[in-house]
Chains A and B, each alone.
Chain A
Amino acid sequence: MIRVEDLDLGYGERLVLQGLNFEIAPGEFVGVLGPNGSGKSTLLHALSGLLPPQSGKIIIRDEHLGRLSSRLRAQIMAVVPQTSDVRFPFPCLEIVLMGRYPHRKRLGSLTDEDLLWALRSMRRTTTEHLQERPVTEVSGGERQRVVIARALAQDPKILLLDEATSSLDVRKKLEIFEILKFLNATQNLTVLCAMHDLNLAALYCRRLMFIKDGGILKDGPAEEVFTPAILGQVYETPMEVIRHPGHQRPYAVMLPLTPGDLEDVAPEAAQA
């Protein structure tokens, strides 16, 4: 579905990620983890075609990403950004209907199928009641769910999420991930999400990719790479990984930093 070969990414002179090589098969559920500024967003920008690679290749469904038409790319891939700012008071339903843009003919009018896709996506993100509300007047969390609905209405084969649920409360976060899990399981939707919430990642992502120091530090099944050693190395923080007695998924517990960990950054705290 996605194949990346010898990919170098950066902005101008500054190289952020170097020598990336990986492949994501259809129907995978991948979490991209790493500390702030490690390049998670940069990777997602490149995969969505916003940031042209400095060198190397990105292949989407056997075609170079740069050679796909905008329309075809948007039929295959939808993206949910971290935040979104809409300037005009479009009703939320119209915002979700914009997700149908890559599927509509230039002069064709909106079909019932388009409308059904929009309504179904709004139900899936519990935003159905917001249909008529201007998007400029709903809360940040509601707007984010409207944007997720729009991405679902795009009927994509690949869904990229960049910290898409960070602004949502626990319940809404889980609802979104349950929907992603459901679409992943029933429709083979390929999901790739950059995230900070380790435990949310461990709960839903079957494969985890850790990014650190300009490259992929570790990439593998969650069961194998979600370990105290790797997490500690990635986040430079002592961690413990515990297996939940009920659902049997691992979860991480952070341990307080020791004076030794703190010496460089906060000497006063280390003294105390």
Chain B
Amino acid sequence: MPETLTSAKTAVPLDLETARERRRTGSRRFAAALLVLSLGLLASVALATGIGRMEVSWHTVFSVILGKLGFTSTPADRTTEVVVWGIRLSRVVLSGLVGASLATAGVVFQGLLLNPLADPFTLGVSTGAALGVALLVMLGVGGSFLGLSPLPLGALAGALGAMVAVLALSRESAGRIRKESLILAGIVVSTFLSALISLIKSLDEESLSAIVFWIMGSFSGRGWIHVGFLLPYAVLGLVLAFAYHRELDILALGEEQSHHLGVAVSRVRLNLLLGASLLTAGAVSVSGVIGFVGLVVPHLVRVLAGPSHGRLLVLSAFTGALTLIWADVAARVILASGQELPVGVVTALLGGPFFFYLLKSRRARGMW
């Protein structure tokens, strides 16, 4: 490669080493953050499993888990085993998976739509998924087939339907999507779909409690079978999102420049929307509509880890898992009466003010 006029004049060699070192520092910080989050997640799973109405010592928690995993023989009694493994651990794992799914979906929606306020909840995608589930519940379709439930499929159909409706509503004549109208369309669609869910609810008294559950968002009574329902959707969605992390970076430059840089924009965008919808649908089908996790977590992580989506996706998934695990613990123990609060209430109480802050902050306007 011949040297340029400018460099011939100044004759300073290109400083490859400094640039390389700077990027390496970034990678090291990412690795450190990942290590801390992984350890935090492991500790949280164990701690959260120990918390509940029945007192269980950490020691018992570990011995039951290790016993179940086949490392040691289980000394604990049957009741303790059922509570720790069957009820609590499954719930903690499920809330972690749902948190990771929602936070990842939030990163994808925000990056794809270039909108800081986008997340599965504000876009109406979660409500769409909930309607899909409610319809199936009303029709009496339930149970499982080969360990797969039809409910996530209903949720997926609802999520995609809501997504299409919101995009169509917010699209202007030139094909561009305006930031403000996107969220407005999300609220319109979400409100309309909520009304439909309420209608189903009043038409069908029998499934009332089941449907309320999907509107409020809760992990009450969930177990390993639900982890099984969610897992394929979560894995597929996470893989899809991560596979396109470079394209997500480039899409921040806008559609035209992404095209010029060689991104097959339509195909990439479709796959990413599908991935985020899979994540949302899987999450909603097992836990109902839990808002704000997908909004708050990506923002917090972005402030600390920067805008690069490769890191943002991984760290957000971990942070989302941590957040929802502890939000669910709060939902379980916060009421003195011993009654459970829907976890959606906890995330809304925490996330609402954050949403307000985002709307107000100059940063949200200037940076995006």
Q: Contact at B253–A84, with CB atoms within 8 Å?
A: yes
Kindly state the separation between the CA atoms of A178 and B14 in the bound complex, as whole angstroms. 20
CB of A78 within 8 Å of the partner chain = yes
Q: Contact at A119–B257, with CB atoms within 8 Å?
A: no
Kindly state the separation between the CA atoms of A110 and B20 in the bound complex, as whole angstroms. 10
**Among A92-100, A189-197, A208-216, A224-232, the stretch in contact with B:** A92-100
Kindly state the separation between the CA atoms of A178 and B262 in the bound complex, as whole angstroms. 27
**Among B1-9, B38-46, B98-106, the stretch in contact with A:** B1-9
Residues of A within 8 A of B195 (CB): none
CB of A38 within 8 Å of the partner chain = no
Partner of A90, one of B1, B5, B243, B252: B252
Kindly state the separation between the CA atoms of A126 and B368 in the bound complex, as whole angstroms. 26
CB of B367 within 8 Å of the partner chain = yes
Residues of B within 8 A of A49 (CB): 259
Kindly state the separation between the CA atoms of A25 and B366 in the bound complex, as whole angstroms. 44
Partner of A94, one of B2, B16, B257, B308: B308
**Contact code string A72-106 (vs B, CB < 8 Å = 1, else 0):** 11110111010011111110011100110110101
Kindly state the separation between the CA atoms of A244 and B95 in the bound complex, as whole angstroms. 75
**Contact code string B240-275 (vs A, CB < 8 Å = 1, else 0):** 000100100110111011011111110000000000
Interface size class of B (residues with CB under 8 A): 35 or more
Complex: chain A residue closest to B179, CB-CB: A87
Residues of B within 8 A of A182 (CB): 4-5
Kindly state the separation between the CA atoms of A2 and B2 in the bound complex, as whole angstroms. 26
Partner of B259, one of A70, A84, A123, A132: A70
Residues of A within 8 A of B261 (CB): 74, 98-99, 101-102, 150, 154
Residues of A within 8 A of B256 (CB): 50, 81
CB of A198 within 8 Å of the partner chain = no
CB of B165 within 8 Å of the partner chain = no
Residues of B within 8 A of A150 (CB): 261
Q: Contact at A87–B14, with CB atoms within 8 Å?
A: no
For residue A184, give the distance in angstroms from its CB to the closest CB of chain B.
Answer: 13
Partner of A119, one of B15, B253, B367, B368: B15
Complex: chain B residue closest to A112, CB-CB: B16
Contacts A112-B16, A112-B20, A123-B14 given; indicate if A75 touches B262 (C-beta within 8 A): yes
Kindly state the separation between the CA atoms of A178 and B254 in the bound complex, as whole angstroms. 29
Kindly state the separation between the CA atoms of A110 and B22 in the bound complex, as whole angstroms. 14
Partner of B260, one of A48, A118, A178: A48
Residues of A within 8 A of B243 (CB): 106
Kindly state the separation between the CA atoms of A106 and B5 in the bound complex, as whole angstroms. 34
Residues of chain B from 213 to 264 with CB closer than 8 A to chain A in the complex: 243, 246, 249-250, 252-254, 256-257, 259-264
Residues of chain A from 129 to 153 with CB closer than 8 A to chain B in the complex: 131-132, 136, 147, 150-151
Q: Contact at B262–A116, with CB atoms within 8 Å?
A: no
Kindly state the separation between the CA atoms of A81 and B19 in the bound complex, as whole angstroms. 27
CB of B351 within 8 Å of the partner chain = no
Kindly state the separation between the CA atoms of A69 and B367 in the bound complex, as whole angstroms. 33
Contacts A112-B20, A178-B5 given; indicate if A88 touches B307 (C-beta within 8 A): yes
Partner of B19, one of A73, A79, A102, A115: A115
Residues of A within 8 A of B23 (CB): 110, 115
Kindly state the separation between the CA atoms of A104 and B310 in the bound complex, as whole angstroms. 15
CB of A186 within 8 Å of the partner chain = yes
Residues of B within 8 A of A48 (CB): 259-260
CB of B83 within 8 Å of the partner chain = no
Residues of A within 8 A of B4 (CB): 120, 123-124, 179, 182
Q: Contact at B263–A101, with CB atoms within 8 Å?
A: yes
Partner of B16, one of A95, A101, A119, A126: A119
Kindly state the separation between the CA atoms of A112 and B367 in the bound complex, as whole angstroms. 30
Q: Contact at A84–B246, with CB atoms within 8 Å?
A: no
Contacts A90-B307, A119-B16, A124-B6 given; indicate if A101 touches B252 (C-beta within 8 A): no
Instruction: Name the 5 nearest CB pairs between A and B, nearest first.
Output: A74-B262, A102-B262, A88-B307, A79-B260, A70-B264
